[in-house]
Structure 1
Amino acid sequence: MKVTSQSYEKSNKIETVKYSRLSKTEYKALLNASDMYLDRQRAGQKLLNYLCDKYGISQIPLIVTDTPQKGNGKSKILGFYRHLLNAKKGQSITIYNLTAVKKKVVSIKVFIDTLLHEFIHHYDTEYLKIESAHTAGFYKRISDLKNKLS
């Protein structure tokens, strides 16, 4: 999907997420989740639900797969945000729990970074009402959210 220059510029200018105070409870619970994909899915869903409620946007299902990441070792897909216009039931965040080459469980920090990355796509789309693009502002929003949660 091609992002309009207007959305790109707006995304690049917004460097923080709303609210300076966020609960750390759900983040810490995810940080302490086991390597089991279902445990990560449960804890990750609680964090997503909290964030969606906090920002007044639709809750989005988290799918954690017990399959390896897609990729060849050089470039890999850790997760993805699925958003279908006018189809709330079509929204989801998917995260792979196993590495692409060695098929080992991804570290919890990589898992959380991926979850927050995909959440910011949802935040951009639903809260900021912009097409989500990988701008400098996008990555600053991720960093800002992570700092407020940790």
Structure 2
Amino acid sequence: MSINFENAILEAFDDLDVKTFKVNYPDHRIFICGGKVDVKQPIPTSFRHRLIEQLAKQHPEIEKEVVLAETFKDYFKEHAYSDLLLFEDDIAKLASVVVIFLESPGSLVELGMFCTKPNFYKRLLIVAPRKETENEDSFIYLGPINHIKKKSLHL
């Protein structure tokens, strides 16, 4: 009897494409990438760190929804993920918003990664230094940011 039940379940799921599944969470997560967050420093060393500190002080209900990749570094170290880009991609898939502070070499790589993934365009919030983007001929403006702007209009 259980073999027939198991076969029926397997047959039902054979017709489904796992890539089209979507996980919905009742709460929201904010994935924040960017500069260093060093809780040992009395003065925040990055704008990202300052934002997180201010959220904790003024809006703790929002701050508790913040997800930092550093929080999950053990998953990567313990080989639950063999690819850091795939790991960050999975975190971003679970987030309602992905905020990237362009203030470190790693954040530029993250911007490059996310600018090639149309399913993130409407969830991206990019915070860039004015000097890097106020000139419309900067690479960051003409490259990834302009690409995301153009593509997100057609989604």
TM-score, normalised relative to structure 1:
0.24
- Structure with higher Rg: it is 2
The structure in which a higher percent of residues are strand is: 1
Larger RCO of the pair (alpha carbons < 8 Å, separation 6+) = 1
